[in-house]
Structure 1
Amino acid sequence: MADGARPTPAALLAEIFGFPAFRPGQEEIVAAVSAGRDTLAIMPTGGGKSLCYQLPALCRPGVTLVISPLIALMRDQVRALGETGVEAGALTSGNSDEENAGVLRALDEGRLKLLYMAPERLASGATVSLLRRAGVSLIAVDEAHCVSQWGHDFRPDYLRIGELKRALNVPLAAFTATADEETRAEIVTRLFGAEAPATFLRGFDRPNIHLAFAPKDGPREQILRFAGARRGQSGIVYCGTRARTESLAAAMREAGHDALHYHGGMEAGERRAVEIRFQRDDGLIVVATVAFGMGIDKPDIRWVAHADLPKSIESYYQEIGRGGRDGAPAETLTLYGAEDIRYRRSQIDEGAAPVERKMADHGRLNALLGLAEALACRRQVLLGYFGETADPCGNCDLCESPPATFDATEAVRKALSAVLRTGESYGAGHLIDILTGSATEKVRARSHDQLPTFGVGRDLSKAAWNGVFLQMMGRDLLRPDIERHGALRMTEAARPVLRGEESVVLRRPQAPAPKYAVKALVAEEDAPLLSALKARRRALAEAAGVPAYVIFADRTLIEMATRRPETLDQMAGITGVGAKKLESYGLAFLDVIAGAAEAPHPARMALAGRSEGAVFDRLSAAQLRLARGPDGTGKHLSCTATTLRQIAERRPRTLAELERIQGMGPQKAERFGTAFLAILHGEGEG
């Protein structure tokens, strides 16, 4: 790179972070943020959004302020950046006075490129003057959906960010994985004001994540079997209640797993201890409510299970998205049952939101039921909800084992008729009693045993009818009516079915048993090496007091185990091995793969993985051959490794240019010049 030239994002991506290319969609976002445009980026969890503000921070003058909701996330990102050679700091309530003083000193000295801060710190009147003095030139907002007052992650202090942007008069880049259009509109209004930002909506597919659902049938045992097949892998189990997290974590420990529980009722110190252990330990399982996960930056979570149905399809997408953020395979299992649905419905009904919002939330829950009761590729259904089309993925339970189906048009029409004939005033249980001809006291008291629909559904059992109603809600043919305490109301989508204009195919009640076989991360012959690499990583991480993934992510170790690099040049070509990490850890991991490796001169190390490295080696070989002249009888001459590096990088074209390089001079230029120039410009092999 020429002296004084500002590095490009692509060059920094390779040199510092060790990635050969951007992920789809990243480059356009990085370009917009680097150019100082107000930007809103909606990216899937694990889509690489951190790089979309870290790279611009390194390309732009001044300091980039990163507003992030969790201290744990900020600390981990600062540590990870430090391992790549980037100076970053965080001002948090969890810092000691000495730590905060060190960050402020680094700011004053102009050393920091990124400053992380929790939104609560914006309430301090001194913050704006501090940021002005530090030379903040860009604000990046992580988890920007926290600005939404109706979201479960709402943080009131996020509402101050728009005011901060105006006070500093700098561009703002907001990032979120929330795909909901309503939330996106709220982010724009509250953070950007009148000027609409450049908006990027990344594709929502995470093809490395395997999707699976199963009806509840002894959920504790189902979760234990699923975890047992993945013993030793990091995982999260989400539960609907605090009590269930504690009981299920205890059951996991009894089964021999390393497992902890986590929920919002725990003391802050207890929660922090769980977060730290999860970030640092390989193979730990956390059984948690949704209080756990936002901001968890652990890239090697290999599986995510839901012991209870999530609250919406957006929540489901965010929660499973915490798995496989390194791009390596990850698996999911979501259990669901009638009790889950009742619980989620009651949560919506008892909330403080307006009626229209509650109806929309029931629609979101219906969309999740539609995913749970899907008949074909789940990824097609999931991406379809977000407005995307896709081919069958081959990486979900339904692609692997399609369910048995039946033509349910008549059954659905009977159910819709029962809904209408009872004035859309009753829930599924009462309607099923009518359809199956069960003359309960409630049915008789309302004379519903006199309806034409009474007993017309005796061909199906009550359990089968429950499945029909569940799938009808999953198709959004029926929706609970808030103002009638959850009575089922027919939607517009149901009218063509009722009129006989559309047919309906549903899943048969007997669902196939879920498979619990674990997918191998590497081929069988590479598994022992991967284990050895993980052991070396764990030892280095413990010595440095950092999470294992800060050294290298699973994905990087998997590539090492598969490709088996034998030199530092080859190691530099492994995804995730940047220049600083190559220098810090390259030899340690080469030692595991290929045995003891001799450390090269620092000048040669600096060229590892670059084309100049091969040129350096050829120059070195030519120098050795000509050290005593062409005939081997002359005075011994040699160039230092630093001189050879300068020649390899600057590529002089003439003997006069070569002679001017520090450490050469006329005598060495005469001895080595012809051979060196031939190597540099392809006229010979040297």
Structure 2
Amino acid sequence: MAPERLLTENFQHFLKNIQIGLFAIDEAHCVSQWGHDFRPEYLRINEVTRQFSNVPRVALTATADSVTHKDILEKLDLQKAEHFVSSFDRPNIRYHVQVKHSDKNQLLSFIERSHPGESGIVYVRTRKRTETIASWLHEKGVSALPYHAGLDTEVRFDNQKRFLGNDVSVMVATIAFGLGIDKPDVRFVAHLDLPASMEAYYQETGRAGRNGQPADAWMVYSLSDVVAMNKLFELTPGNEEFKWIQRKKLNALLGYCELIECRRKMLLAYFGETYQGDCQACDNCLHPVKAWDGTVAAQKALSCVYRTGERFGAEYLIDVLLGRETERILKFGHHRVSTFGIGNELDRLEWKSVFRQLLSAGYLKADLNSYGGLRLSDKSHPVLRKKQKMLFRKDPFPKVKPRVRAIKRVKSETVKVMETEGDKELFEKLRSLRTTIAQKHGLPPYVIFHDRTLHELVSYLPKSLDEMHGIHGIGEAKRENYGQQFLEVILEHVKTDGTKDGVGSDSKITEEFQSHDNSQAMGSRKNYFTF
């Protein structure tokens, strides 16, 4: 029963009129504010159990680190109790973590490749996402239903019943789903958004493979996930000590994501258990990831954060490093800073990886008062002073060198001048497609893509969705929603027209590094910077 019911007057009267053999407190980590699922009602359980001092008690949890363990004993007054700790290892579960670049397509590929038609749970952060993802999966031929606390009670229980009865394969859910669910044949648990802690991750992935058969724990994460989770913690009620503990738990999870060694070994070590050797059942063991010396890249990235005023997000900073003369960069004068255009040895995806790992490791922090702008932390100073080397995980997605990333941004007016008759024909095709999509969704055409975006598509002729990175007005959401339709029109046009193969397809701007004159540097940190 829920602790809320235990605390009611009627139920306490009922307890006094029966013989009680044992108080079993399940999910005992909920009593601890250091735990990943703190529920204040658990703190009042002692109010009831103290009235039955001769009745034995047992507290059970599968997800408590040493700090939470100690807090459980104190809050439930169990300091003199015997402790029994079994292994945290779930040897039948395989662990996989990927960098998020197109989460829905990555999920679909994982399901179709590894678990077609099999039972699985997909965890997301928001109620809206449960419905969006479930609907999208259904359209792609995967039977899926949403589950979240905001659904009508009858709908929620019907969805749960259909999942437990194998009427549907996949449940897309918030963390509201899972407690008390013991479905033995769940073949996978997927996370499309970062959980809040290692404990939450361990508990949720543990819902896979309960019948002992092989199962997968699969997760994707991104830079925006890290910023979002930090923002969530800042907005969560609680004192600074509580928030510090929560950030520490998140940082442990981020360390797990960025790991290049055995994931099982680190997961078990977090809970105080030693694992000998490598498990050969996680992505890092099966497909070893390389590390690369990112010292210079880190110095450039950190310096760029500082040079631009410590108030911009990663996408803007990457544009500065790649030397893109966007309207915003020209407006703020950042085409004149020393870090403008010095990062062309890496592409946009690689710079995203650098910023993500710097943020995950605490060298940068998200300023939540400036909409997630990045700021330097004290930890960054030794790197800027050249007193610390940096090793980065080399993300395992294929390296792409699209034309869009290889050239400097040109102004839209210039693009218009460059257009040939073939260009104009393609532009009209793209504009027609835009109108069709806009009418279908009841939106103005510019909400789909601005004319400037269409001009840049004509100029750069991307050959894949990855090559759309960096084109003005195409973020991840629009690329995912509309990119494939526009790409098909472009590829068909190039195939039939054949007069053009993109602007600067083999070019790459290679500007030399410029040491910034110390007399121009600002504040007490002026001697830190090479760039």
TM range (shorter): 0.5 to 0.7
Question: 1:211 and 2:116 equivalent?
Answer: no
* Partner residue in 1 for 2:198: 313
Question: 1:140 and 2:16 equivalent?
Answer: no
Question: 1:465 and 2:351 equivalent?
Answer: yes
Verify the 8 A CA contact 2:251 2:360 in the aligned structure 1.
yes
Matches within 5 A, 1:564-575: none
* Partner residue in 2 for 1:412: 298
Select which of 271, 289, 293 maps to 2:178.
293
Distance 1:312 1:140 in 2: 25
* Partner residue in 2 for 1:118: 2
Select which of 277, 280, 284 maps to 1:398.
284
Question: 1:168 and 2:52 equivalent?
Answer: yes
Verify the 8 A CA contact 1:371 1:474 in the aligned structure 2.
no
* Partner residue in 2 for 1:235: 120
Verify the 8 A CA contact 1:235 1:302 in the aligned structure 2.
yes
Deviation for aligned residue 1:142: 0.5
Verify the 8 A CA contact 2:162 2:168 in the aligned structure 1.
no
Select which of 471, 478, 485 maps to 2:364.
478
Letter in 2 for 1:145: H
Matches within 5 A, 1:93-104: none
* Partner residue in 1 for 2:246: 361
Distance 2:8 2:127 in 1: 34
Deviation for aligned residue 1:487: 4.4
Gaps of 5+ in 1: 1-116, 514-686
Verify the 8 A CA contact 1:468 1:506 in the aligned structure 2.
yes
Distance 2:266 2:322 in 1: 32
Cα displacement string for residues 480-507 of structure 1 (whole angstroms, at most 9, x for unaligned residues): 3557764445456555544545432223
Select which of 41, 59, 80 maps to 1:157.
41
Verify the 8 A CA contact 2:145 2:168 in the aligned structure 1.
no
Deviation for aligned residue 1:512: 5.5
Cα displacement string for residues 455-475 of structure 1 (whole angstroms, at most 9, x for unaligned residues): 443322333211101112233
* Partner residue in 2 for 1:322: 207
- Range 130-139 or range 436-445, more displaced: 436-445
- Range 147-156 or range 395-404, more displaced: 147-156
Question: 1:179 and 2:75 equivalent?
Answer: no
Select which of 374, 381, 386 maps to 2:259.
374
Distance 1:453 1:230 in 2: 46
Larger radius of gyration: 1
Report the 3-state secondary structure (helix = DSSP H, G, I; strand = E; otherwise coil) of the residue aligned with 1:457. coil
Deviation for aligned residue 1:298: 1.9
- Aligned CA distance change for structure 1 residues 154 and 313 (closer, same or farther; 3 Å): closer
Deviation for aligned residue 1:387: 4.4
Distance 2:248 2:330 in 1: 32
- Aligned CA distance change for structure 1 residues 423 and 183 (closer, same or farther; 3 Å): farther
Select which of 366, 390, 393 maps to 1:504.
390
Report the 3-state secondary structure (helix = DSSP H, G, I; strand = E; otherwise coil) of the residue aligned with 1:332. strand
- Aligned CA distance change for structure 1 residues 329 and 155 (closer, same or farther; 3 Å): same
Matches within 5 A, 1:48-63: none
Count residues with an aligned counterpart.
Answer: 396
Letter in 2 for 1:289: T
- Aligned CA distance change for structure 1 residues 255 and 437 (closer, same or farther; 3 Å): closer
- Aligned CA distance change for structure 1 residues 357 and 155 (closer, same or farther; 3 Å): closer
Report the 3-state secondary structure (helix = DSSP H, G, I; strand = E; otherwise coil) of the residue aligned with 2:345. coil
- Aligned CA distance change for structure 1 residues 273 and 384 (closer, same or farther; 3 Å): same
Deviation for aligned residue 1:139: 1.3
Deviation for aligned residue 1:293: 0.8
Distance 2:132 2:368 in 1: 33
Select which of 104, 107, 121 maps to 1:220.
104
Letter in 2 for 1:406: W
Letter in 1 for 2:128: A
Letter in 1 for 2:124: C
* Partner residue in 2 for 1:85: none
Verify the 8 A CA contact 1:262 1:292 in the aligned structure 2.
yes
Report the 3-state secondary structure (helix = DSSP H, G, I; strand = E; otherwise coil) of the residue aligned with 2:180. coil
Gaps of 5+ in 2: 400-531
Deviation for aligned residue 1:162: 1.0
- Aligned CA distance change for structure 1 residues 442 and 285 (closer, same or farther; 3 Å): closer
* Partner residue in 1 for 2:493: none
Question: 1:250 and 2:135 equivalent?
Answer: yes
Verify the 8 A CA contact 1:128 1:167 in the aligned structure 2.
no
Distance 2:385 2:90 in 1: 39
- Aligned CA distance change for structure 1 residues 215 and 501 (closer, same or farther; 3 Å): same
Cα displacement string for residues 427-451 of structure 1 (whole angstroms, at most 9, x for unaligned residues): 4345434444456666667666665
RMSD over aligned Cα atoms = 3.3
Deviation for aligned residue 1:367: 3.2
Matches within 5 A, 1:554-633: none
Distance 1:260 1:270 in 2: 10
Distance 2:269 2:367 in 1: 25
Distance 1:478 1:203 in 2: 36
* Partner residue in 2 for 1:337: 222
Report the 3-state secondary structure (helix = DSSP H, G, I; strand = E; otherwise coil) of the residue aligned with 1:460. coil
Verify the 8 A CA contact 2:7 2:48 in the aligned structure 1.
no
- Aligned CA distance change for structure 1 residues 445 and 359 (closer, same or farther; 3 Å): farther
- Aligned CA distance change for structure 1 residues 338 and 497 (closer, same or farther; 3 Å): closer
Letter in 1 for 2:288: P
Report the 3-state secondary structure (helix = DSSP H, G, I; strand = E; otherwise coil) of the residue aligned with 2:146. strand
Letter in 1 for 2:51: A
Question: 1:347 and 2:212 equivalent?
Answer: no
Cα displacement string for residues 520-560 of structure 1 (whole angstroms, at most 9, x for unaligned residues): xxxxxxxxxxxxxxxxxxxxxxxxxxxxxxxxxxxxxxxxx
Cα displacement string for residues 258-300 of structure 1 (whole angstroms, at most 9, x for unaligned residues): 4322111112232223333333438732111111112212232
Verify the 8 A CA contact 2:231 2:368 in the aligned structure 1.
no
Cα displacement string for residues 633-656 of structure 1 (whole angstroms, at most 9, x for unaligned residues): xxxxxxxxxxxxxxxxxxxxxxxx
